[in-house]
Amino acid sequence: MEQTSTYKLIFLYILLDKPKMLLRPSPFPSISPLPRSLKVSAATQSPLPPKKTGVTIIGGGLSGLAAATHLQADNIPFVLLEASDNLGGRVASDKVNGFIFDRGFQIFITAYPEAQKLLDYNNLHLNKFYSGAKVFYNGGFHTVADPIRHFPDAISSLINPIGSVFDKVLVGLTRLRALTLTDEVILTGDEIKTVDFLRGVGFSDAMVERFFKPFFGGVFFDRELETTSRLFDFVFKCLALGDNALPAGGICAIPEQLAGKLPEGSILLKARVVEIDVEGGDGFAVRLESGEVVKSELGVIVAVEEFEAAKLLAGNVGGGIRVKKPVRSTVCLYFSANLDMIPVKDPVLFLNGSGKGIVNNMFFATNVVRTYAPPGKGLISVSLIGLFDDVEEGELVERVVKELEGWFGERVVRAWEYMRMYKVGFAQPNQCPPTDLMKDPRVKPGLYVCGDYVTNATFDGALVSGRRAVEALIKERVRVDS
């Protein structure tokens, strides 16, 4: 966005005699502190909805927080209304008795371009994974290593059964190809299903089944790899350029960092929006479940999940938002163990390349981030693709334990203590072709959308979408007001 547009907008704002709305502390006392796990300054939240603001943001996931960050940078007052009692949306962690449980297996790729602009990596205290994976196949583990970062491992893995030597050369060529493409070309270029793309490149069935399906299936929560090749290219490029990492404070440290920089009184938790009115003569209004109404001068940014946007925007979007099915789901199980029952020390991801069983991937979280468990304990994270909603919790735990006994031995796995399970029904929207990963955030004058379904279902996609919604709002307001 051009700097001049921003100044122009602020100037118009002051001309319109609205200086009272420019950033300032909330006049209301704090009555509903944030949970301890979310280290956002309590001053950030407003206990009561303001009657009027500059922009109303609905939803406090990464996209809503990114939108708020950009509005703040442009000195545009806003209020962010979040339905739950937590910020971060799907990027959340629970901290219990010294353990950190991310709500589902999530990894931050340091090369995400938008994240690099918005986040302070030093303060996230990122801990890296090994660049590669150990694939369980035919009763044993086989290493797949990034040849640039772990050259000796890559050489010694050339002749393992996870693909042929030719497959491993192809990985290098596919990487080179992705690196030569700009993100825009990747996200708007030709697309097919990822599985068809991989076969078209010439990867063998063994490589697709034993490595790509568990690895990228775990990224997209889509074991069949029907997700668009655009997203494969984008993630593959980011993996080539950066590291897989986790913050020392849990994945929730990412939204916490964004929220912690927002101005006083700008966030309202437990504030579910049930109606949006952008047609009234007196600015734009949203109605909360509680009945209260928040009006905004410049517009409304809807930063909720796709299915929720479809409900909230019904009547505002011609033809409505069509939610593509199936949406992507996952189950994440956590176990803890004494450190002598953690069979490896490497910060590596384990993949199920056997073609059997229900486990897709797992890792010893405390091998990557020591702070994920109290001293003397290890934390184990196991992920399944799909929701398994017809399987009882106890039965699912038993099936996973039995399966992992085949990986690490009965003595080790039976010593693990089951901690908890997260069944995430809506982890990501369906991103099968045809996709539009650069949707127009403008719904109508004063109404904008952001969220991973508007761009792509990664942390980065959500952050980009928040910025683009603010850019669209500012562009339109400057045009209208001048």
Ligand X SMILES: Cc1cc2nc3c(=O)[nH]c(=O)nc-3n(C[C@H](O)[C@H](O)[C@H](O)COP(=O)(O)OP(=O)(O)OC[C@H]3O[C@@H](n4cnc5c(N)ncnc54)[C@H](O)[C@@H]3O)c2cc1C
Which residues of the shown chain bind ligand X in the complex (CB under 6 A)? 58-64, 81-84, 89-91, 104-107, 272-273, 303-305, 308, 312, 330, 424, 427-428, 451-452, 457-459, 462
Q: Which of helix, strand or coil describes residue 273?
A: strand
Closer residue to ligand X (CB): 233 or 308? 308
Residue 300 CB contacts under 8 Å (≥ 6 apart), including other chains? 55, 56, 57, 58, 276, 278, 284, 286, 446, 447, 448
Structure tokens at 276: 């949006």
Give min distance, CB of 160 to ligand X, in A. 26
Closer residue to ligand X (CB): 195 or 424? 424
Give min distance, CB of 298 to ligand X, in A. 19
Q: CA-to-CA distance for 113 and 150, rounded, in angstroms?
A: 24
Give min distance, CB of 246 to ligand X, in A. 10
Closer residue to ligand X (CB): 81 or 154? 81
Following DSSP, what letter does each residue of 158-209 receive, concatenated? TTSSSS-HHHHHHHHHHHHHHHHS-HHHHHHS---BHHHHHHHHT--HHHII
Give min distance, CB of 274 to ligand X, in A. 7
Q: CA-to-CA distance for 92 and 433, rounded, in angstroms?
A: 29
Give min distance, CB of 426 to ligand X, in A. 7
Instruction: Return the DSSP state at 291.
Output: S
Give min distance, CB of 250 to ligand X, in A. 13
Structure tokens at 240: 């080539």
Closer residue to ligand X (CB): 76 or 303? 303
Contact 433, 195 (CB under 8 A): no
Closer residue to ligand X (CB): 81 or 365? 81
Closer residue to ligand X (CB): 170 or 331? 331
Residue 381 CB contacts under 8 Å (≥ 6 apart), including other chains? 102, 105, 332, 333, 334, 362, 363, 364, 365
Closer residue to ligand X (CB): 144 or 268? 268
Closer residue to ligand X (CB): 13 or 215? 215
Closer residue to ligand X (CB): 157 or 430? 430
Closer residue to ligand X (CB): 58 or 208? 58
Q: CA-to-CA distance for 265 and 259, rounded, in angstroms?
A: 12
Give min distance, CB of 312 to ligand X, in A. 6
CA 462 to chain centre: 7
Give min distance, CB of 81 to ligand X, in A. 5
User: 185 φ, ψ to 5°?
Assistant: -60, -45
- Closest listed residue to residue 449, CA positions, set 471, 479, 424: 471
Which is it for strands 328-338 and 417-428: parallel, antiparallel or unpaired? antiparallel
Give min distance, CB of 304 to ligand X, in A. 4
Q: CA-to-CA distance for 304 and 400, rounded, in angstroms?
A: 33
Structure tokens at 397: 């735990």
Give min distance, CB of 468 to ligand X, in A. 12
Give min distance, CB of 144 to ligand X, in A. 18
Closer residue to ligand X (CB): 430 or 458? 458
CA 86 to chain centre: 15
Q: CA-to-CA distance for 217 and 191, rounded, in angstroms?
A: 17
Closer residue to ligand X (CB): 58 or 413? 58
- Which residue's entry shows tokens 């939803």? 59
CA distances from 140 to 78, 91, 143, 173 (A): 55, 33, 10, 28
How many CA atoms lie less than 13 Å away from 200 in the CB half-sphere?
Answer: 8
- State the CB neighbour count (10 A cutoff) for residue 120: 9
- Which residue's entry shows tokens 């491992």? 153
